[in-house]
Structure 1
């Protein structure tokens, strides 16, 4: 068995060199750089003719989803913070190289007006919306509840929860039967960490929101699901974790390493594809074997 076939040795393993960046962080400054699937993901037309709006699409999981969706034949609207324009432009260049159309949507989704505009601009550009991926998130680590600034607590909920509500609410009237909403939750929704109290709380809310909404819109032919990532090597890690935590990141997973964003892309394709039309209200873990239930 080659290293590329063995999930244990396929990608870099800890220890990693601590490499702190200020939020939101850039992929090009990470060592090793994350794998977004540009060379490893093979498309087969599963999403041909569809339009997807992805938040947090400049880097991390969102960028890997954008890469896979483009290779599967979808046109894309990519939402990102202005500070992450360098990563977003790189993602857009790849999408264009696949022959798909791409719309860049800079803005801070902590603002409800920005959330609504993402959907409106996507519809104006493409005339339709088939897949909504609520992926953008904010996190910071703290050793105690008392250390968490009030404004940081509010921002975590504004970005992770309130934005999902505003964007989804705006999108729902435009989603046709066969459309799909996919939310990024986390294993922290099932296994909350004391150093990530705000983030863990929001991820549990996302899981709950997903199941509730799935039941509410099932009769309309709209599916709603969530992915629960485990430890994934993204700019999140170098902007939100202490150096010692970065060094051993991913070692808690039975596979022994963090996942790469490209390793999650297939889950988002699965949940968006018409082939899986009976899957709704699902929470799909991709976590390297971690026990979370």
Structure 2
């Protein structure tokens, strides 16, 4: 089997495909001790693995939300065996505002204010040309990816902690790396989700709100996409999600990051990134450094 290759131009010189010391959940610098974590879509795949990473980081409590109670129950039982973290689970659809509000309130009542939310729930419509796609399936990408994240964020606000409250929105490189025929629902909906996150940050400066591309994993969604790109190890995005809530990442709010990027290089680039307003949403090539002539 051929070794994994890198398909897109990097942002940092070093590109990772699995966990490394700087983002390792067992690294004391990334400790989640005393924190309450909530993960949507937490019963399977990346969501479940992220929950496990926070258990490894020593979180006080981890709550997983999802639509399928049987899978949540199984996942919670497995997570309880991996550490001393209290594990909760709630069956809740991210499009059910009342259900979400009830779940967040229950978590806060049982284990305290919620420090970190990982909005992992997402949807990929069947890849097909817009003209021939099923409208209901196509629109579901927008419903889940945008409205679902919006409702999740709102459900968290009344119950967020005062200890560097962090909201991590899983996204995708497909939101910004180019146009992929057949993905007119998924890519634009994820682009909108990423831009929406910028507004959440600006409107709630006391929080840390950030978008994260987890890489390409062996998940149901990746298989459904059919895209022939190299696969990453699950340890990469799960550990990166823990790092995003660490003290070292207190400057990331409102921005979009790939889990592949080396966090020590990012730290060295911190001032430059903030000064130049990089990793934010906008139109490439604008503004240009030209002398403007205004014609009335």
Contact 2:104 2:159 in 1 (8 A): no
Q: Kindly report which structure 2 residues correspond to 1:97-246, keeping only aligned pairs within 5 A, or say none.
A: 97-177=82-162, 178-191=164-177, 192-218=179-205, 220=206, 222-238=207-223, 240-241=224-225, 245=226
CA shift at 1:82, angstroms? Answer: 1.2
Q: 2:233 maps to what in 1?
A: 260
CA distance 1:127–1:288, shift in 2 (3 Å): closer
Match 1:80 to one of 55, 63, 66: 66
CA distance 1:273–1:210, shift in 2 (3 Å): same
Q: 2:35 maps to what in 1?
A: 50
Matches of 2:140 and 2:37, distance apart in 1: 25
CA shift at 1:143, angstroms? Answer: 2.6
Q: 1:272 maps to what in 2?
A: 245
Deviation digits for residues 5-45 of structure 1, max 9, x if unmatched? Answer: xxx85x8xxxxxxxxxxxxxxxxxxxxxxx99xxxx65235
Contact 2:62 2:87 in 1 (8 A): yes
Q: 1:286 maps to what in 2?
A: 259
Relative CO higher for 1 or 2, CA cutoff 8 Å, sep ≥ 6?
1
Structure with higher Rg: it is 2
CA distance 1:267–1:217, shift in 2 (3 Å): same
Matches of 1:144 and 1:157, distance apart in 2: 16
The unaligned stretches of length 5 or more in structure 1 are 1-7, 12-34, 251-256
The unaligned stretches of length 5 or more in structure 2 are 5-17, 263-278, 285-296
SS in 1 for 2:157: helix
Matches of 1:285 and 1:176, distance apart in 2: 26
Matches of 1:156 and 1:116, distance apart in 2: 22
Contact 1:136 1:160 in 2 (8 A): yes
CA shift at 1:91, angstroms? Answer: 5.0
CA shift at 1:119, angstroms? Answer: 1.2
Contact 1:44 1:71 in 2 (8 A): no
CA shift at 1:287, angstroms? Answer: 5.2
RMSD: 3.0
CA distance 1:119–1:259, shift in 2 (3 Å): same
Matches of 2:114 and 2:79, distance apart in 1: 21
CA shift at 1:67, angstroms? Answer: 1.1
CA distance 1:72–1:111, shift in 2 (3 Å): same
TM-score (norm. length: structure 1): 0.74
Contact 2:211 2:255 in 1 (8 A): yes
